[in-house]
Amino acid sequence: MTARIPTLILILLLSAPLPAAAHDGHGEDAGTAFASVLHHYEALWQILADDSTDGLAEHAEGIREAADRVAADFSVDAAGLKSDADAGEAAAFFSDIARTALYLGSTEDLATAREAFYEISKKLVRLNEERDGERLKVVYCAMAKKSWLQRQEEIVNPYHGRMMSGCGEIVAG
């Protein structure tokens, strides 16, 4: 039963209404905030690939704040998405990302953190398809049955960490 509790909490957080967006006074527009989401996402990816949880809460909070900003002041152009992107779906994705990041930041368990990272990754992989300009690489691990985004060619697996760092293949980008 205890193994189901983190999953249940994640489901409840994803279905709960999101609090009003936190504006931190940095004056970031949605496009810059989206870049911040990706910055913190990449930091989380590296932390998990290193089999660590050090810095997890800080970067999860960074994602939450930035995703809240994007969702609150959403526009396709400001988010750096193609003009024909589904704005409603994309805005909802950023709200979901913020909710999941809140949950991710509250865990110290590596397995639970990886599951929450995957929930964020699913949304960002979809948004990556709708980005204007440069896209990140989409990497898929058949063993974990999960995808993630990364910039580099060398595979670095956040789901298996150091044990199987190179497990996966670039499927897009």
CATH number of the domain that residue 105 is part of:
1.20.120
Give a yes or no: residue 145 inside a domain: no
Indicate whether 23 pLDDT > 90: no
Residue 91: CA atoms inside 13 Å, Cβ hemisphere, count?
Answer: 13
Strand partners, 139: 148, 170
Give a yes or no: residue 149 inside a domain: no
Range of the structural domain that residue 52 is part of: 29-133
Mean pLDDT of the chain, nearest integer: 84
**Percent of all residues in the chain with a pLDDT value above 70, rounded to a whole number:** 82
Cα of 38 vs its chain's centroid, Å? 7
Give a yes or no: residue 166 inside a domain: no
Give a yes or no: residue 62 inside a domain: yes
Give a yes or no: residue 172 inside a domain: no
pLDDT of residue 35: 85
Degrees (nearest 5) of the Cα angle 93, 96, 101? 125
Give a yes or no: residue 173 inside a domain: no
Structural domains in the chain (count): 1
- Express each pLDDT in 60-93 by its tens digit: 999 999 999 888 888 888 788 888 889 999 999 9
Give a yes or no: residue 108 inside a domain: yes
Give a yes or no: residue 33 inside a domain: yes
- Express each pLDDT in 90-119 by its tens digit: 999 999 999 999 999 999 899 999 999 999
